[in-house]
Amino acid sequence: MQELYDASSEARDADAVAAVWMGVYNAPFVTLYDRGLLTHLIVVDEVPEAAQAQLDAMAAEVASSTVEPVEEVVAPVVVQIDPVAQCRIDFHEMGSAQFMQKYLNNQKNRPTYEAAIVPRLAMRVSKLKRKRDRQRKRHEQRPQRVAPSLRSPEKSRPRFKYRRIRIFAVVQRHR
């Protein structure tokens, strides 16, 4: 498109503009024709020699003006992982002996291990404390059983009075 702009602004020549426009449309036309996408538009069985000559000229022009794309070499992106996240990943992926050697026995990696584990332990401890508090609360709300000897006298009932009399009567009969 830069060529079109240059041709129209500098020369103001109709032939130059037409040549640039033809160059712009030649590449898509040749590409579509080579791929066979224009076959349904061709009415004749064979392409005439004059048309074939124009098509060959367009293909040569497109091939000469086509610039091979330069492949850009993209450097691999190195992703920096947080050491604490890496410790968690290693915990799940490594064997226990390897993990112990890398994090627990190594003084440089020990703080990373502690930074990864301490929040989890604190969360677990707080969860256990909440569970213990719920159990205590349920235990306090449960009605307590009181031994008969510890009950107040007005609430106690003479449970054994009639039984003693009955046992005494049975013993008297058997004598």
Residue 166's pLDDT is 56
**Number of residues in the chain:** 175
- Environment class of residue 19 by beta-carbon count within 10 Å: exposed (0-12), middle (13-18) or buried (19+)? middle
Q: Give the position of tokens 């098509």.
A: 55
Rounded-to-integer distance, Cα 84 and Cα 113, Å: 7
- The DSSP letter of residue 150 is G
Q: Indicate whether this model's pTM tops 0.85.
A: no
Rounded-to-integer distance, Cα 38 and Cα 31, Å: 10
Q: Which DSSP helix (H) or strand (E) runs through 26?
A: helix 14-35
Neighbouring residues of 81: CB distance < 8 A, sequence distance ≥ 6: 89
Please give the structure tokens belonging to residue 95: 């064997």
pLDDT tens per residue, range 9-29: 555 677 777 777 777 788 888
Residue 19's pLDDT is 74
Using 50 as the pLDDT threshold, list the residues of the chain that sit under it: none
